[in-house]
């Protein structure tokens, strides 16, 4: 089954909410000004003087066939070339080593999308990663272009599908029918039989991912993608990497800064993943974050958060025993689907009215609205086809994460999860046991390394009401990046991510940093 609450792609959730939350998806932080003298060469203002820290990216030299490749920018596939602020969209394929320890060996094709800078005063390329892991940048960037219209004047806007994602040899571990069948598996097993079914399903998915990915399964890590980014920088002709990472994209940005500190240009990390949290820590963080967002939602509707959460938990308990009928032929609203439906509208205040309506309908015996919200999160369209971002997310995160919590460890920690959140805790607790169960490839680390001494200032944007990547992660990311590197900008708001979410204070600070090199004062607060 698809993981329920991993840090999801910001753009995908935002697109669903903008569409009204009830439909189906079509698929799946300061006031120190700096001079701007280096803009034309792609450099970054504010880079510390003196020698930069030696690169941590030492390895075999890259062949000219990779570093000197010429990208053939052409018309994009349908859906990726719609007109948007920033100019016409063009797409190309970048060749990168399948195995970065063997740069002369087999390659993997990475799908890129670009809109060239509108103005003459060009800074360079601005790379975007919208999260996941597993989100398609090729699909997301045109939808996000209106939000970053001011940046399009001086940057080429560029994104890509990371290896193992969508058009970059995306992985599909199951067919549509098997995905729908797996939705009936109880994600919070109550009996030995349900536990066996839960783990058997997880093992079956692992086998499907192994069969689908083949050799790629061992080469889709965040470190691999960070190295792809630096190859991208070279091929695009940039001296420095300018980057905007959201959600999981903040972890990717931190890993890149660690590997290539001297090549860090202007980097923004928004909706920040806590780099100091391991697998269990992330699950607890998300339980805390989503419960915090749910409490804020309940308060906004005049409800007592404790009582409101209890009512929702009771509804989920009833659905565990008796799923609700829906208007979708042959489908019922299960406990797991209902929770997924509750999650999506918590990504933005714009989704709160849809949550109110869906919960009311479910209390009255109709599960259709919560099911539609769950389908949006799960990228299920009206024809019953599912997107593959959840599969890509699985193969990337299980290669990154070394921890493999057992069922026994999960049982011991469930009371802690339930105390953090009576609504989301049980699901996230069990998820730690099932997510990488019986995975055929070992994980690489407990936590990612993001220290980047010598790097230029990195703007770290945290939102106090963020459900998926709780605010505390922003300060930890800044601390891990190192003194003088991580600069925190705080927004007292709701939803997943801050930039483009309605705060002129946040937007103007980010724009001034990216366009003029003006680094905000560390600790600046926008309300």
Residue 173 Cα distances to 25, 163, 214, angstroms? 19, 15, 11
Residue 128's beta-bridge partner residues?
159, 244
Residues making up the chain, counted from first to last: 527
Q: Report the distance separating Cα 192 and Cα 8, nearest Å.
A: 31
Q: What is the pairing mode between strands 324-325 and 264-270?
A: unpaired
Q: Among candidates 474, 94, 397, 393, which has minimal Cα distance to 223?
A: 397
Q: Report the distance separating Cα 200 and Cα 178, nearest Å.
A: 14
Query: What's phi and psi for 222, nearest 5 deg?
Result: -60, -35
- Residues 427, 203 contacting (CB under 8 angstroms): no
**In three state form, how does the secondary structure of 327-387 look?**
CCCCCEECHHHHHHHHHHHHHCHHHHHHHHHHHHHHHCCCCHHHHHHHHHHCCECCCCCEC
Dihedral sign from CA coordinates of 437, 438, 441, 443: positive
Q: Among candidates 236, 311, 248, 313, which has minimal Cα distance to 277?
A: 248
Distance, CA of 208 to chain centre:
23
Q: Report the distance separating Cα 38 and Cα 59, nearest Å.
A: 29
Identify the H or E element spanning 90: strand 90-97
Catalytic machinery residues = 247, 466, 496
User: Could you give the count of Cα atoms lying within 13 Å of 20 in the half-sphere of its Cβ?
Assistant: 5
Q: Among candidates 379, 388, 491, which has minimal Cα distance to 13?
A: 379
CB contact set of 520 (below 8 Å; sequence gap of 6+): 29, 30, 31, 32, 459, 487, 489, 509, 512, 513
Q: Report the distance separating Cα 3 and Cα 256, nearest Å.
A: 26
- Residues 96, 107 contacting (CB under 8 angstroms): yes
């Amino acid at each position: 089954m698809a993981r329920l609450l991993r840090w999801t792609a910001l753009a995908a959730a935002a697109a669903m909410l903008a569409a009204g939350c009830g439909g189906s998806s079509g698929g799946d932080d300061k006031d120190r000004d700096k001079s701007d003298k280096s803009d034309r060469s792609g450099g970054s203002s504010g880079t510390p003087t003196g020698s930069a820290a030696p690169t941590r990216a030492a390895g075999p030299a890259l062949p000219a066939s990779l570093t000197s490749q010429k990208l053939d920018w052409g018309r994009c596939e349908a859906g990726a070339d719609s007109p948007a602020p920033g100019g016409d969209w063009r797409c190309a394929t970048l060749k990168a080593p399948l195995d970065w320890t063997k740069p002369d060996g087999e390659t993997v094709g990475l799908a890129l999308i670009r809109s060239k800078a509108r103005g003459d005063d060009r800074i360079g390329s601005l790379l975007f990663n919208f999260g996941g892991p597993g989100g398609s940048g090729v699909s997301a960037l045109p939808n996000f272009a209106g939000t970053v219209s001011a940046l399009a004047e001086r940057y080429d806007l560029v994104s890509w599908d990371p290896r193992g994602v969508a058009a970059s040899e995306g992985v599909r571990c199951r067919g549509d029918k098997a995905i729908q069948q797996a939705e009936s598996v109880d994600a919070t097993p109550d009996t030995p039989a349900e536990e066996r079914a839960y783990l058997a399903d997880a093992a079956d998915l692992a086998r499907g991912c192994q069969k689908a990915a083949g050799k790629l399964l061992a080469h889709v890590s965040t470190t691999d993608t960070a190295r792809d980014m630096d190859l991208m920088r070279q091929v695009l002709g940039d001296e420095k990497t300018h980057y905007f990472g959201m959600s999981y994209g903040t972890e990717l940005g931190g890993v890149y800064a660690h590997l290539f500190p001297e090549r860090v240009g202007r980097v923004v990390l928004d909706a920040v993943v806590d780099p100091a949290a391991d697998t269990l820590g992330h699950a607890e963080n998300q339980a805390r974050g989503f419960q915090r967002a749910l409490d804020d939602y309940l308060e906004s509707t005049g409800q007592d958060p404790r009582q409101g959460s209890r009512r929702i938990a009771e509804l989920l308990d009833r659905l565990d025993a008796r799923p609700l009928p829906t208007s979708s032929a042959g489908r019922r609203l299960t406990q797991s689907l209902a929770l997924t439906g509750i999650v999506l509208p918590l990504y933005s205040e714009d989704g709160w009215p849809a949550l109110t309506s869906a919960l009311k309908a479910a209390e009255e015996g109709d599960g259709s609205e919560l099911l539609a919200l769950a389908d949006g999160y799960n990228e299920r369209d009206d024809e019953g086809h599912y997107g593959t971002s959840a599969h890509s997310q699985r193969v990337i995160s299980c290669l990154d994460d070394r921890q493999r919590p057992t069922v026994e460890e999960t049982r011991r920690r469930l009371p802690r999860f339930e105390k953090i959140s009576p609504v989301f805790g049980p699901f996230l607790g069990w998820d730690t046991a099932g997510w990488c169960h019986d995975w055929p490839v070992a994980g690489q680390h407990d936590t990612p390394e993001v220290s980047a001494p010598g790097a230029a200032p990195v703007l770290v944007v945290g939102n106090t009401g963020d459900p998926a990547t709780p605010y505390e992660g922003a300060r930890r990311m800044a601390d891990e990046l190192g003194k003088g590197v991580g600069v925190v900008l705080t927004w007292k708001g709701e939803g997943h991510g801050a930039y483009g979410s309605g705060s002129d204070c946040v937007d103007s600070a980010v724009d001034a940093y990216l366009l003029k090199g003006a680094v905000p004062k560390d600790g600046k607060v926008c309300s």
